[in-house]
Amino acid sequence: MGLKLKKLSFLFIFSFFIILAGCEKESNDLDNKSLGSDKLSTTVIPSDFDWSSTKQISINLNVNSSAEKRLYSVNVFDKNTSDSDAKSLYKIDASLDKDYTTVMTISKAVTSVYIQKTYPSGQTSITSEKIDGDVLTVDFTDMVSVKSSSIFKTKGDEDSYPITETDGGTYTYLFEDCWPKMGDYDMNDFVMDIQGIKYGMSTDDEGVTWVNSIDYTVALRAAGGAYELGAAIQFDELVPSDFYYASIDKYSKHSSVKPEFLTGDTFTNTGTQVEEGQTKAVIPICDEIHQALKTSNMTNTIVGGNTADTLQIKFHIGFNAGRAALRENVGIDDFNVFIVVKDDVDYGNNDNGYKMRKEIHMAGYALTDLGTNSLFGTEADNSTEHLFKSKEGLMWGLVVPGPIAYPLEYKEITKAYPKFKSWATSGGTADTDWYENSDSENVYGN
């Protein structure tokens, strides 16, 4: 009986350490899984590569000047609307009496778009435009008549603004949890989407357009790491006092029903749901992804393995009067998404007494006030020269126009997406559509 207990104890301890092996996931075994000379960690990337698959385009709306504001609508599609699978990339509904400029984010692979205009009269037209530079001009000055019923009327609710803009894109975030080590580059340790971004906006007496509110949805999809991982978004150009409140799955200062995925173990929120102890605004997503998905260990990364339903979390941000945000400061490129790794290491406290932690950001994005920089320049990291890049120019976090299928467990992203390596080694100039061409045998959720 004693021998059996010893065997059981050994098996339990052995299994426990296998589960907690973290990002390395038995790296010696990985070397035997035919990664070979194609292994990404041996690849040198141009030092100035920003790892971005998207670009910003300015949209200029030229309208007839009028004493009364009238409603104009612009919808930018990837294809002609006569195609059943045409997708809206960006939509603007604006009550205007003068010209208007805003920005949208699109994939670098997009070379042309279709622009659908809806005039105040209700008349519509659609034209094709090439993306030659970083500006699109939409001309409404050929309008000849306006129906009085089309003049913009305020509805009186908090979501009704003279201007609304909707980003039609979905953005997939892929993270490795092993920083500052290299890991196996299956990029599935933490996988989530951000989608449905909507801006409520207004223009002041001086003609400056401000964002009064932002709505977006986060979809937690996979947890391929064994570490406990939390996640949040830092808005680098905003401060906590800009926020009137943030609602996370309807949880706000107006509600006492706290979602299960906000445990307070990683993030301590203020009454406005902005994290405490930060000079820049940080909005938590979840304190721990396994707990949020009601699962444990590697989840949604192994065929026939542990599974969980995707968790959809809705966010609403309302800004204080007089502290609204500029549109160019809250685009998807301004969402500094990061993960927090709970690795049981004590990183000490900062000067304000807050406990420091291990954060992993996308390449080029800054730590929060609570993220330790003690690991900069250690192992493979080269953040002293380029934030969250390795000495070879590789990254630990990536955002891609999506939604995309992500690599299976132990399958390097170069196997899941054959064009990924040529895109990366070219500094982003070749195969900009790499994420549209996956190997179905090496991705999960294809």
Residues 178 and 324 in one domain: yes
Residues 308 and 396 in one domain: yes
Two structure tokens written together for 232: 């949040």
Residue 196 predicted with pLDDT over 90: yes
- Is residue 267 domain-resident? yes
Residues 72 and 189 in one domain: no
**Percentage, residues of the chain above pLDDT 70:** 84
Cβ proximity of 416 and 407 under 8 Å? yes
- Is residue 252 domain-resident? yes
Cβ proximity of 126 and 139 under 8 Å? no
Q: Which of 150, 183, 202 is a domain's end point? A: 150
13-17, 263-267, 392-396: range with lowest mean pLDDT: 13-17
Task: Give the residue among 437, 429, 445 at the shortest CA–CA distance from 55.
Answer: 429
Q: Which of 119, 150, 181 is a domain's end point? A: 150
| pLDDT tier at 10, thresholds 50, 70, 90 | very low
pLDDT at 45: 92
pLDDT at 203: 83
Beta bridge partners of 116: 75, 126
Residues 173 and 146 in one domain: no
Average pLDDT, the chain: 86
What is the average pLDDT across 311-323? 87
- Is residue 163 domain-resident? no
- Is residue 190 domain-resident? yes
| pLDDT tier at 25, thresholds 50, 70, 90 | low
Cβ proximity of 191 and 406 under 8 Å? yes
Task: Give the residue among 175, 174, 79 at the shortest CA–CA distance from 128.
Answer: 79
- Is residue 15 domain-resident? no
Where residue 132 sits, what CATH number does that domain have?
Answer: 2.60.40.10
* DSSP notation for 348-359: -B-TTSPBPBEE
What is the average pLDDT across 272-293? 94
72-76, 78-82, 219-223, 271-275: range with lowest mean pLDDT: 271-275
Residue 226 predicted with pLDDT over 90: no
What is the average pLDDT across 305-317? 94
- Is residue 27 domain-resident? no
Residues 262 and 373 in one domain: yes
What is the average pLDDT across 287-302? 95
pLDDT at 370: 98
> Which range, 63-72, 310-319, 367-376, has the best average confidence (pLDDT)?
367-376
| pLDDT tier at 281, thresholds 50, 70, 90 | very high
Residues 173 and 130 in one domain: no
Residue 262 predicted with pLDDT over 80: yes
What is the average pLDDT across 220-225? 96
Handedness of CA 408, 412, 413, 418 (dihedral sign): negative
pLDDT at 255: 57
| pLDDT tier at 154, thresholds 50, 70, 90 | very low
Residues 138 and 191 in one domain: no
pLDDT at 143: 60
Domain total for the chain? 2
pLDDT at 68: 78
**How many angstroms separate the CA atoms of 392 and 389, rounded?**
8
Q: Which of 150, 178, 209 is a domain's end point? A: 150
- Is residue 20 domain-resident? no
Residues 118 and 184 in one domain: no
Task: Give the residue among 55, 25, 41 at the shortest CA–CA distance from 389.
Answer: 41
- Is residue 28 domain-resident? no
Residues 101 and 175 in one domain: no
* Range(s) of the domain holding residue 375: 42-52+169-444
Residues 400 and 280 in one domain: yes
Give the list of residues 6+ apart from residue 304 with CB closer than 8 angstroms, or none: none
Residues 179 and 198 in one domain: yes
Residues 248 and 312 in one domain: yes
